[in-house]
Amino acid sequence: MDRQPVIRHAERGPLLDEADVRADSPREMIRGDTGGREAAEHLRVLVAGEREDGLAAVASRVSSLGHEAVARALAPDDVASLLNDVEPDVTLVVVEGEAGPALDLIDRVVKEAICPVIAILQGADDDFVRQAAIVGVFAYIVSDDPHTWQNMMEIVLRRFLEYRSLEGAFGRRAVIERAKGVLMERHGIGEPAAFALLREEARSSNRRVVEVADSILGGHRLLPRKA
């Protein structure tokens, strides 16, 4: 069932800016876990900032795009628990006043690795953008144009999924490399022979190579040692 847009107010690759976005950007099917939901439709968007008074306008704009806006004024230490409760698709951090609190919020959200972060700026601020890029913000928006907001969220979600996919690929490669090292040491063989063993076992057991590699790493103490 689609989420109904609602605003709640509480008691947190290359950087994108709006110049990268075109109002006629095509939508793509990017959320494989939502039964074919189109990109950036009916999203749950966390609108976070240091002060509540700056969140209402941003949350209203998000809701007008057909998304569920959950607005929270919070401290960095509250980020982890809130992300687990809200489970947002994307987080918008509203930047007001001093840059430090907003950068802390961005940093905490990025480290939780649940969703991408977009910074909402009141005006151009090159210094803030440079610092935000360092801590991991995916994009920033200055414009009030709703088409820019919609298209930016679509692009950011696509890039976030690509990042997660690439991160997973590197992780799988590392597991395979470690397993090859174990086989080379225990059997006194070279790298090609070690990979051949992994591949043959994967074929015979109808598993992926990374699954075989993972089982080797989990039970390598049982393997024969090099004579």
Report the CATH number that the domain containing residue 75 is assigned in CATH. Answer: 3.40.50.2300
- Output the pLDDT for position 218: 81
Is residue 227 one of the residues assigned to a domain?
A: no
How many helices (DSSP H) and strands (DSSP E) are in the chain? 7, 6
Same domain (yes/no): 152, 203? no
Mean of per-residue pLDDT scores for the chain? 77
Is residue 12 one of the residues assigned to a domain?
A: yes
Is residue 176 one of the residues assigned to a domain?
A: yes
pLDDT over 90 percentage in the chain: 19
Same domain (yes/no): 106, 196? no
Q: What is the C-alpha separation between 208 and 211, in angstroms, rounded?
A: 5
**Residue 184: enclosing H or E segment and its boundaries?**
helix 146-187
Count the Cβ atoms, other than its own, within 10 Å of residue 224.
Answer: 8
Checking if the pLDDT of 5 tops 70, the result is no
What domain count does the chain have?
A: 2
Among the three residues 143, 165, 187, which one is the final residue of a domain in this structure?
165
Is residue 175 one of the residues assigned to a domain?
A: yes
| 59 within 8 A of 84, measured Cβ to Cβ | no
Is residue 32 one of the residues assigned to a domain?
A: yes
For residue 19, count CB atoms less than 10 angstroms from its CB and return exposed for 0-12, middle for 13-18, buried for 19 or more. Answer: exposed
Same domain (yes/no): 109, 206? no
Among the three residues 136, 165, 194, which one is the final residue of a domain in this structure?
165
Q: What is the C-alpha separation between 143 and 148, in angstroms, rounded?
A: 7
What residues make up the domain containing 109? 7-165
Residue 40: pLDDT band (50, 70, 90) is low
Same domain (yes/no): 160, 209? no
What is the per-residue pLDDT across 171-186, written as a single tens digit (0 to 9) for each? 778 888 888 898 888 8
Same domain (yes/no): 79, 119? yes
